[in-house]
Structures are given as C-alpha cells and as structure tokens.
Amino acid sequence: QTGLSVTARILDATYEIGRTCSDTFRDVKDRFIRHDRVNGQWNYLVDPNGFAY
C-alpha cells in the first residue's frame, strides 16, 4: 500500500570462512550503504545513487 517494492536474489554459493573482501568492495560498500548508529547490524540504508552519507 505504501508503494514499497523489494527484490531479493539468492546466491547459491558456499564461501570459505575468514575470506576477506577487496579494498574496491569496501570503497563501494561505504559509498552505497549507511549503517544505523544504534543497531547497524540490522538497520541500514542502501542508496543506489551513492548519496548514503
């Protein structure tokens, strides 16, 4: 009713434990995802335009 539309995709893959992400991914993540100050593990904003901050 609010006009919210959500799309999700399941990645059917197994990743090794302790695998680190690249610096490029970290830069992109920091640009597009802003974690909430109170409970950032569960609450975050994803901005496809890269203006999350």
- Residue 49 resides in a domain: no
- Residue 13 resides in a domain: yes
DSSP 50: S
Domain that holds residue 10: 3-44
Q: How many domains does the chain have?
A: 1
Please, are residues 34 and 53 in contact by the beta-carbon 8 Å criterion?
Answer: yes
What pTM did the predictor assign? 0.42
How does pLDDT run across 1-53, given as a tens digit for each residue? 678 787 878 878 887 888 887 888 778 777 788 888 888 778 888 777 776 55
- Residue 12 resides in a domain: yes
Please, are residues 29 and 52 in contact by the beta-carbon 8 Å criterion?
Answer: no
46 beta partners:
33
The candidate with the shortest Cα–Cα distance to 46, out of 34, 30, 36, 38, is 34
